[in-house]
Chain A
Amino acid sequence: MPIKKYINRRELIGGIGAIAATPHLVSAQGLHSIHQKVDFNDPIQNALAYAKLVGTSARSMVHIYYKGTIFGMTPEQGVKPMIGHTGVLKGVWKPWFDNSFYYTLYDCGYFMDLETGGPVEEFENPFTGEINRPVKIIGGPFDRVIKPTLRPFKSRGDELWLEEPAYLNFANKLDPKVWKKASTGDKLSFLYVETYHGKISDLSNPDLDSIPMTITSTHNTSWYPFFLMGQRPGGHYWQAVGKKVENLVEDVPPVLINYIEKESPGYFESEKPWKKRTGTFQAYKDQREPQT
Chain B
Amino acid sequence: MDRRDLLTGNYTKNRLDLSKSIDSTYAYAKLVGTADKAMVHYSLEGTIFAYLPGGPIPFIGFQAILKGVWEKLEQDSFRYTLFESGFFHSLDSKNHIEIFQNPITKKENQLSYIKGGPYESIIKPNQLDWVVSGDDIWIQEPKTRKGYFGNSESGEQKKQTSFANVIFKGKLSELNDSTTIASSMMTYNYLSPWYPFFDMDDVDGNMYWQAVGNKIQSWSDVPETMKNFLNQQSDNYFESTNPWSETTSTLKNYRKNSK
Contacts and interface: CB of A to CB of B under 8 A. Distances in A.
**Do A and B share a complex?**
yes
Contact of B138 (A28, A191, A241): A241
A276 interface: no
A88 to B, nearest CB: 11
A220 B51 contact: yes
B232 interface: no
B161 interface: yes
Interface string B202-230: 00000010101110110001000000000
Nearest to A243: B136
Task: Classify chain B's interface size.
Answer: 35 or more
Interface residues of A, number: 43
Interface in B146-182: 146, 160-161, 163, 165, 167, 169
Interface stretch (A70-78, A120-128, A173-181, A260-268): A70-78
Interface string A259-292: 0000000000000000000000000000000000
Interface string A157-190: 1010101010111000000000000000001011
Given A157-B221, A216-B167, A65 B133 contact: yes
B57 interface: yes
B144 A165 contact: no
A190 B191 CA distance: 14
Contacts of A157: 214, 216-217, 221
Given A28-B3, A71-B163, A191-B56, A78 B142 contact: no
B133 A189 contact: no
A75 B49 contact: no
B55 A189 contact: yes
Contacts of A94: none
A216 B165 CA distance: 12
Interface string B93-120: 0000000000000000000000000000
A27 B189 CA distance: 33
Contacts of B185: 159, 161, 197, 214
B58 interface: yes
Contact of B165 (A159, A189, A239, A247): A239
Contacts of A250: 133-134
B contact patch SS: strand
A106 to B, nearest CB: 19
B248 interface: no
A237 B189 contact: yes
B218 to A, nearest CB: 10
A154 interface: yes
B191 A251 contact: no
Given A78-B146, A159-B185, A251 B133 contact: yes
Given A169-B55, A218-B189, A239-B140, A191 B134 contact: no
Interface string A228-239: 000000000101
Contacts of A239: 140, 142, 165, 167, 189
B73 interface: no
Given A218-B189, A241-B138, A246-B134, A165 B47 contact: yes
A159 B217 CA distance: 12
A191 B3 contact: no
A28 B3 CA distance: 7
A242 B131 CA distance: 10
Contact of B212 (A161, A187, A189, A251): A161
A60 interface: no
Contacts of B221: 156-157
A169 B54 contact: yes
B155 to A, nearest CB: 19
A216 B161 contact: no
Contact of B161 (A20, A79, A154, A161): A79
A97 to B, nearest CB: 31
Interface in A23-42: 27-28
Nearest to B185: A197
B24 interface: no
Contacts of B216: 156-157
Given A79-B161, A191-B51, A216 B187 contact: yes
13 contacts: A67-B131, A69-B142, A71-B163, A75-B161, A157-B217, A167-B58, A189-B55, A191-B49, A191-B51, A195-B212, A239-B189, A241-B169, A242-B133
Given A156-B43, A218-B210, 10 more contacts: A71-B163, A159-B183, A159-B214, A163-B210, A167-B58, A193-B210, A220-B56, A237-B191, A239-B140, A252-B133
